[in-house]
Each structure stands twice: as C-alpha cells, then as structure tokens.
Structure 1
Amino acid sequence: MLSPLALAAGPASPADLLAARMQMGLSLGWHIIIACLGVGMPGLLLFVEWRAVRTGDAEHMLLARRWAKAIGVLFAVGAVSGTILSFEMGLLWPGLMDVYGQVIGVPFAMEGIAFFIEAIFLGIYLYAWDRLPPRTHLLSGIPIAVAGVASAFFVVAANAWMNQPRGFDLENGRVTRVDPIAAMLNPATPPQTIHMIVAAFMVAGFGTAAVYAVGMLRGRRDRYHRLGFLIPFTLGAVLSPVQIVVGDYAAKFLAEYQPTKLAAAEALFHTRTHAPLSLGGIVRDDTLHYAVEVPSALSILVGFSPATLVQGLDRVPPADRPPVNPVHWGFDVMVAIGFFLLLMSAWLAFTWWRRRDLPSTPVFLWLAALAGVAAVVAVEAGWIVTEVGRQPWIAYGRMRTVEAVNPAPGLWAGFLIVVLVYLVLTVATLYVLRLMTRAVPVRPVAPQERA
C-alpha cells in the first residue's frame, strides 16, 4: 500500500533505495553489538557486586568497579547510535511511519521509557558508589538490568510486527481500529524476543570472557583474571544449549508463518517432502551448487517426520523472493557458530566436572577469545536472516520496502555522513575501552569497610 508521501513524490530511485538500505543496515549492525552488551553486562555486574557484598571479596569488587565503567562508556555510545536509529525510521522510511506509525508507536514509546529509567539509575549507580551503603547501592543497579532487557523486548517487538503485521484493519486503503497491544504481541514476538535476548546475554558473556582469555594468554593467570573469565563464560555456556532449543522454536515459527524466509534460509527452491538440510553452497540460476545435504533433515526438523511437506521458493513469484545467497549463508553461519559455542561450553563443563579447573591447553583460551568475536558474528548473521529474509517487504505482505523509502533524492549523502559518524564512534569507543583494560587495577575498599 503506497503512502500519501510516495504517491505525491513518486517512487525513489534504485540508487537511493540502496543507500537507505545500506544506511539502515550499518546503523542496525553497529548498534546491535552495543545493545547486546548493554542488555547482558548489567546482570554480570550485579552478580559480581552481590558476591563482593556477600563475601567481602576484593577481586569481585574490582571486577564490579571496572565493568561498571565499561557499561557507562557503552551506554553513552549506545545512546548516540540509538538516537540515530530513531531518526532514521522517520527520515529513511516515512512511508512506513506515515501509514503504520499509529500501529507500532506503543513499543517505541515503551522503549523510550525503559531507556530513561536505565539512564537515571545508571547515573545513580555510578555516582553513588561510595555514597550509599553497599546493599543499597547493589539494589540501585537492579532497575538498570531490568530496563535493559525491557528495552530490548520492546524494540524487537516492533521489528516482530514488521514480520507479522497485526493489530489493525484496512478500510479503503486507510488504517482503522488500531489495537496497539495486539500489534506489539504479534505471533513473531515470542520467538524473536526470546531469541534476541538470549543472544544478547551470550554476546555479553562470551565477549567479556574473551577479554580475560586474551589476558590469560599473555600470562596473567591471577585470581582476578580467572574470575573475570569464568563468570561471564559460564553465563554464555549455560545459555548455549538454551539458544539451540530457542533457535529450533524460531525455525518452526518460520515454517508456519514465514515459509518463504525459511525456504531462502535453506535455499530450497522446490516444495517437497523429504526436504534436505543444505549446508553451504552457492545459488546460481535458482539452483544450489556445492552444498552438503543431510537427507530429509529439514522435513524432520519442521514436522518431526521425513514426510513433512516443506514449502519452497517455487510457491512464491520471483518478485516476492528475498535474495537467497545472503539469507542462506547468514543462516548457516549463525547455526555453525551456535554449535561451536555449545562445544566450547561442553569442553569447559567436562573439564570443570573432572578437575574443578579450566582446560590446561592454551588452545582452549585461544578458542575462548575467538568465541567472543564469533558470538557477535552470529548475532549479525541472525539479523541478516531476519531483515534480508523479509525482503521485498518492509511490513510482511502489507507494504514493500520501495513503497516506504523516502522519495527525496540525495540519500547517498546521508549514508556517507553516517559512515563517518560510526567510524568516529568506533575509534573513540575502542580507544577508551582499550585505555581502561590497560589501566593498572586499583584495589577498592572492601564492602565491610564502607558499611
């Protein structure tokens, strides 16, 4: 459905549509890394501070102090990238907001409230560290963790609506009888929000542990570094099998509600029973080449039987199909990394069960350092599947992306400016965090002495 803006100004050029997609992809891809750390790290911070308050342990308190500073930096840069994204929704996609803004406005408004709660209590938490009793200070951090998870839920719920538009009627091309709660709690909300929030905690866990894995590889095997590695890595390890189950739930959702996306993810061009699971390969001329196929596996995963009929891309007109190669490779990369992280988690669990210690080989620490990067790559790959797999629709089955983009010329200029902004943000963030990791740790006052 074309918006009044698009009808008045005419469609955007293919070049400007590409610029808008690239700008939105860059902004989302950059922000999601910071957002994952912002969702997951406050929980880790509260745990180590709770241990410090409960036991009086100086190493736990030192971890809490240093992680709190890192969270403050990440929150600041996340606020910048989040603000850019909020402007881009209106500037790049006015057709969507013009028609459906009243439908999806509630989760964005709720996310704003969660953001301000997080900002207020983060300020209290950082400023009042030595001004409040230890237990009171610990309690002041709980709203930070809760608001971070709530913020992620509301943002992903808005994106889930784009995959399953609900909560409105269309009469003569106009939106009527808006139900914002039904829109927010659409069928895609449970699998997407659970999948994303679990992924955020995994990125925070494996990413934080990777920093300490590098330090241990450089010979820093003291208790501080061991705790800094073990606590976040354990969080990621516990959630790895959970994410495998959630991922299967999300794939079954796609089979029922977005079969075209699942067909693109598996590069399945022909509707069939005994559908194979295709690993790797390249699509040319509507055919997947060089893939490794697991016979009947896709049918079994979708319907628990090799006889399950799985819809292929042949049921969809070519103009309504997403680009298959990036969706297929994004899906494969995400799944492969998920099982890599699961194996790393099992390695640590087995060794700890036998010896109550980390694996002694340096290979484990090298792979643990790699796991932090891999977790981020998996999240990015998952968002490629989610966003590119929905194309050519910005609101699935309701509005095409080309109908929503700003028809004004010159979107490339905005894209280049945003590239420069994110380049500066990346350099500044890495520089500040690098300074913090290289700083000589200062032992904090024990909690009992401040009580």
Structure 2
Amino acid sequence: MIEDLVAARMQMALSLGWHIVVACLGVGFPALVLLAEWRGIRTGDRGWTLLARRWAKALAVVFAVGAVSGTILSFEMGLLWPGLMGTYGEVIGLPFAIEGIAFFIEAIFLGIYLFAWGRLPPRAHLLSGIPIVLAGLASAFFVVTANAWMQQPEGFRLVDGRVVDVSPWEAMFNRATPHQTVHMLLAALMVTGFLVASVYAVAILRGKGDAYHRRAFALAFSLGAVAAPAQVAVGDWAAHSVAEHQPVKLAAMEALFRTEQGAALRLGGIVVDDELRYAVEIPNALSLLAYWDPDATVAGLEEVPPDLRPPVGIVHWAFDIMVAVGLALLALSAWFAVVAWRRRRLPDSSWFYRAAVVAGPAAVVALEAGWVVTEVGRQPWIVYGQMLTADAVNPMSGLRYGFYALLPVYVLLTVALIYVLRRLARAPFDDGAARRVSDYRVVPDGEDPR
C-alpha cells in the first residue's frame, strides 16, 4: 500500500509533469503561429498562411487539453495540500487570481482568432492573435511566481503559527521570481521550438524536403535555437541564487555530503552510504561556478540533519541530465546558426536532422529534469524552511485511490492528444484546391490568400 503522503506527491508529480509540457506549448506555439502568419502577410506567400492555419488548429487542441490538466492541478492544490493553502493562501492567492484572468483573456482571443480566419482583414486578424501570446506568457509568469515563493518565501511573518503582515506583492516578486520565471519562459520556447521542429525533421528525413516542410522546420528550430544560449546564461544565474539562498538544494544537486573548500564539480556517479562514487571530478569547479571563487567553501549536506535532506541521487542525476541536454541543444543550435550565417540556408547533413529529431524529446526530458531539481530538491519542505510537506498534506486516508484514478485519465488525455494531432498532420491542406506546396502562387499584399 502506498502511504498517503507518497501518493499525494506522486499524484502532484504526475499532474505537474504532464501539464508542464502542454503548458510550454501553450506559451510558445502562439508565437510560432503569428510569426508564420506575419510572414504570409509580408511576402504574400500562401505557403506561410497555410502553415499558420494548420498550426492554429493544433494550438486549439493543445489549449483545450491544457485547460483540462490545468483544472486538475488547481483542484489538487486544495484537495491534496490543505495545510499549505489554509495557512498561506492569502500570501500566494494573488498570482493564482491574476493567472486566472490571463487564462480567460487567452481563451477569449484564441476563439476570436480561430473564428476570424477570412472574416477580418489579414493585418487585423494578425493583431487579434497578439493577446494570445501576451496572455500565455503572463499566465506562465504568475504561476511560476507562486512556485518561486515556495523556494524563497517572503512577504509575511509567522506569529504563533499564524500568518500576519501579509504583503502579496512582496511575496509574488520574491528573490527567486526573476530567474525562475525567465528560466521557465525560455524553457517553454525551447520545448516548443525543438519539439515542433523535430516533427518536420522526421518529414525531411523521409524525403519531404519541399518548401513547406523546410520553412516550417526553420521557423520552429530558430525559436529554440535563439532561446538556447540565453537559457544557459539564465541557468547560471539561477544556480548562483540557489547557492546563496538554498545551500542544501545545491549540495543535493552536486551530491556534496561534506563541506569543502575549493569544492570539485562532480559529474555522474552513484550515491552509496552518503558518498558519491565513480563520478568524474573537476577540481575547484563547483566553488568557481557557485561563488566565482575557486577556493570558496561550499556547504555540504552534513550541515543539516538527515531528515531534512532531499533524496540526493534523484536530484543529482536530474541536474546532470538537465545540464547535459541543455549543452547538447546549445551545440546543435550553434551548428544551425553557423550554417545559416555562412551559407544562408539550412544544413544539408542528414546527421543534423537526425539530431534535430532527438532534440524535441530531449528538450522535454531537460524540462522534466529541471522541475525534478526544483521540486524534489526542495524536499522535505513544501515552503522552504517554513512548512514541511508532511504537515501540508491532507490528513484524511485514502489519497492513494485518487492517484490510481488519475492514472487512466492522463493515459486517455495522452492518447487523445496524439491521435488528434496526427489526424491534423495527415489532413489535406484546407485551401480549397488541394494544391501541392510547390504550386503556391504569390498574391498581392493584403489580398486573402485562400
């Protein structure tokens, strides 16, 4: 029998891990759609317009499924963690309220955008999509501020176990908010860009190297490639913040059990009896990366009792996977950029497109690994240094049955999402003429390209 606390954490992990991928597409996909439509308006090329229309249909499907998984998460916050919401609800309620407003704005303008194809002038229709992009970014931003507060809680005082002197704005814009929100938004762009590009990379490898597939690949991959170097810089920023404000999490990320001066950076390895074995060590590198000083002292897990330490093996490997995938995507982006700059075209190498196929799933893996580091690395605290996860869980028995019931729901959502997207991908072009892409004609700027 799964203990109820473990079941609650597993259910939250399942819901969040599933939703975050769809949420990333909800943030990045609208930008791709509008960029394709803008190119169609600017050039008069109906190929860009058809690409935008097809992507808009996929966006509608992703948004609908994301609304379902997001609703599940909102209920779980209260049902699984009443201790958290009952004590700190007035502190973190503001970002959730604003996120709800952003969600409704996104839904309203997505409906307008989809319905208005061919009913509004092209430029007016393009402008109607801008609120979708802005609302998607705002929605992600405000949700992440609440999570950032759980990492570095501010904006209140505790007196006899009760919250007083609440400042919701100070809580929302805590010290973790800047780097964590930027890190998440860049991750959303990377996941969207590389995941969409991987679909077209498969098509190109199968011989569909026409203008439609190559431009779709180029646009999507460019989005991920632009975000990749910025993400590396922001990741370094976030690591410095963790070193300063969450030293236990940093020690778990690096599997550092004993406090060291001039600490080495350890890659890989296996945790055995409070010791990391078989790791590759780079002398003084951890001190240098964490504090810009190769001789700086880095606190180890020995500084806190064993019951206040996160599960080191999981956090360490998740961090290594996230960093390794991020650097690999950066290298692939550099390959793409160099060829585009020197030759003004896409790479010809089949190995590049094979790597691009892997880049989509790899970006998702890096995303999930990053959230494992963020959430599991904070354990056993649900609010860092203030409330233990065990004190926040619903005290009623039987929580494991909710986890069992939710599993088939996410299986069905996954199957339905993949099925519908595949049907959309295989559907003939909806331009009313069933033309080949190579037959697209250039139309005058402002004319309806249908």
- What TM-score results when the alignment is normalised by the length of structure 2? 0.96
**Unpaired stretches in structure 2, ≥5 consecutive residues:** 434-442
Shift of 1:354: 2.7
Partners of 2:415 and 2:168 lie apart in 1 by 40
Give me the CA root mean square deviation.
1.3
Partners of 2:129 and 2:447 lie apart in 1 by 20
Give the structure 2 partner of residue 312 of structure 1: 300
Contact 2:2/2:400, CA 8 A, preserved across alignment: no
Letter in 2 for 1:255: A
> 2:176 aligned to 175, 180, 188, which one?
188
> 2:283 aligned to 295, 316, 331, which one?
295
Is residue 2:379 matched to residue 1:394? no
Is residue 2:223 matched to residue 1:225? no
Deviation string, structure 1 residues 274-325 (Cα, Å, up to 9, x no partner): 1111111111110001111111111111122211111111111111100001
Is residue 2:129 matched to residue 1:141? yes
Partners of 2:133 and 2:147 lie apart in 1 by 22
> 1:272 aligned to 260, 284, 289, which one?
260
Give the structure 2 partner of residue 97 of structure 1: 85
**Unpaired stretches in structure 1, ≥5 consecutive residues:** 1-12
Deviation string, structure 1 residues 230-277 (Cα, Å, up to 9, x no partner): 011011111111111000000000000001101100001111121111
Secondary structure at the counterpart of residue 217 of structure 2: helix
Letter in 2 for 1:449: E
Partners of 2:103 and 2:430 lie apart in 1 by 31
Contact 2:148/2:180, CA 8 A, preserved across alignment: yes
Deviation string, structure 1 residues 414-443 (Cα, Å, up to 9, x no partner): 101111110110000000001111112234
Letter in 2 for 1:416: Y
Give the structure 2 partner of residue 411 of structure 1: 399
Contact 1:327/1:384, CA 8 A, preserved across alignment: yes
Partners of 1:309 and 1:443 lie apart in 2 by 64
Is residue 2:436 matched to residue 1:448? no
Give the structure 2 partner of residue 25 of structure 1: 13
Letter in 1 for 2:446: Q
Shift of 1:413: 1.0
Shift of 1:356: 2.0
Is residue 2:241 matched to residue 1:253? yes
- What is the percentage of aligned positions where both structures have the same residue? 64
Letter in 2 for 1:439: A
Contact 2:336/2:347, CA 8 A, preserved across alignment: yes
Give the structure 2 partner of residue 281 of structure 1: 269
Shift of 1:444: 7.1
Give the structure 1 partner of residue 39 of structure 2: 51
Deviation string, structure 1 residues 38-93 (Cα, Å, up to 9, x no partner): 00111111111111111111111111001100100000000000000000000000
Letter in 2 for 1:167: G
Count how many residue pairs are aligned between Structure 1 and Structure 2.
439
Secondary structure at the counterpart of residue 449 of structure 1: coil
- What TM-score results when the alignment is normalised by the length of structure 1? 0.95
Contact 1:58/1:443, CA 8 A, preserved across alignment: no
Shift of 1:359: 2.1
Give the structure 2 partner of residue 88 of structure 1: 76
Letter in 1 for 2:12: M
Secondary structure at the counterpart of residue 243 of structure 2: helix
Aligned pairs for 1:343-358 (under 5 A) are: 343-358=331-346
Give the structure 2 partner of residue 244 of structure 1: 232
Contact 1:62/1:444, CA 8 A, preserved across alignment: no
Partners of 1:382 and 1:193 lie apart in 2 by 13
> 1:75 aligned to 63, 66, 74, which one?
63
Contact 2:121/2:446, CA 8 A, preserved across alignment: no
Secondary structure at the counterpart of residue 120 of structure 2: coil
Partners of 2:336 and 2:430 lie apart in 1 by 30
